[in-house]
A = this chain, B = another copy of it.
Amino acid sequence: MVIVMGQEATGDDIASIVAVVQAAGVEAFVSRGVRRTIVGLVGDVTQLDEASLRGMPGVREVMRVSTPYKLVSRENHPERSTVHVGGVPIGPGTVTLIAGPCAVETPQQTLEAARMAMAAGATLLRGGAFKPRTSPYAFQGLGEQGLRILAEVREETGLPIVTEVVDAQDVALVASYADMLQVGTRNAQNFALLQAVGAAGRPVMLKRGMSSTIEEWLMAAEYIAQRGNLDIVLCERGIRTFETATRNTLDVSAVPVAQRLSHLPVIVDPSHSGGQRDLVLPLTRAAIAVGADGVIIDVHPHPEQAIVDGPQALVDTDLGELAQVMRDFPPLLGKTAAAALTV
């Protein structure tokens, strides 16, 4: 941490800062210049409150230098991690395709979607039983009935299940069915939920908040990690910007940046970022090309009848092209498409 003193700061102001800092067991280096003085702090600054320092007399600015997250940071864990979900790897050596319906509607629709997913090369099945919806009047998902459908489809197809949990009180229930818990963009700073999934003993996919900085996203992951769970996969899904031509703005740069800062795998959701079917394949190619460790894609057998997000779901005729993307692109990145667990 670096504390920049204002021109008006007195010797006493500087001495007070140094005293506070040293009391927290941190070294303080004072650099006096012609117009300004800078106090450089070295040591474990986590006990120092940045904002309170900023409020001390004479202080002009407090700049943090070290990262505020630890368990998910790559600084102390240079090797990138691989997370296994029902035996399927998500990590640096592979590109994992997760696909399925946005919402579980019926057993038939879910099974058909799962078969579509497999046809495209997916090794994990996505599907929402609890849906966070902007409107209270919109379909909120089938709840536990949806989880049961997912479990049946897993039985039938062998695909492990990724499904969202939206309430800390449902975590145990969802974890009893799911192979991987998903935390959605609207819950990116729902700390009670993050702590609950951190304690649930299941891998977690953490979507980036639509207005979270990369640092806030990693801090959210730290909440999960702190509860003892490091099986976390980060998922970039588009951020909110002024552009309205797309549902969100897919921030592809966030993939290499997050991979540089954290050892966790990073995947991309091209369906929810673009929000339009004809953007899904181009964004999938971009995601793999930028280095993503996987993609999560909506597919639907009859998107015109879909209750949620039909217009962004891939359909039958798109699957061949998706399968080809999964064959052609990963090798160029020194990766392979993630295979299903073989017994």
Q: Tell me if A15 counts as interface (CB < 8 A to partner B).
A: no
A187 at the interface (CB under 8 A from B): yes
User: Contact partner of A189 among B132, B273, B307, CB < 8 A?
Assistant: B132
Residue A38 at the B interface, CB < 8 A? yes
- Near B by CB (< 8 A), chain A positions 258-313 give 260, 273-274, 277-279, 282-283, 285-291, 303-311
Nearest chain B CB to A29 CB, angstrom units: 3
| Interface of chain A residues 124 through 172 with chain B (CB within 8 A) | 132-138, 166-169
Contact partner, A186, options B136, B190, B282, Cβ 8 Å: B190
A329 part of interface (Cβ distance < 8 Å): yes
Q: Are B274 and A253 in contact (CB under 8 A)?
A: yes
A308–B46 CA distance with the chains assembled, in angstroms: 14
The stretch of A50-58, A90-98, A114-122 that contacts the partner chain:
A50-58
Chain A 30-41 against B: per-residue CB contact (8 Å), 1 yes, 0 no? 011111101011
Taking a contact as CB atoms under 8 Å apart, the answer to whether A55 and B311 are in contact is yes
Cα–Cα distance between A4 and B4 once the two chains are bound (Å):
14
Decide if A243 is an interface residue (CB 8 Å cutoff): yes
Question: In chain A, residues 181-219, which have Cβ atoms closer than 8 Å to a Cβ of chain B?
Answer: 186-187, 189-193, 209-211, 213-216, 219
Which among A27, A215, A245, A303 has the greatest number of chain B C-beta atoms within 10 A? A245
Q: List 28 A-B contacts (CB under 8 A).
A: A2-B38, A29-B29, A29-B31, A29-B38, A33-B42, A33-B43, A38-B40, A51-B309, A52-B307, A52-B310, A55-B303, A57-B304, A63-B63, A69-B135, A166-B192, A167-B168, A169-B169, A213-B243, A214-B243, A239-B242, A239-B243, A250-B252, A253-B273, A256-B282, A257-B279, A286-B286, A288-B289, A328-B332
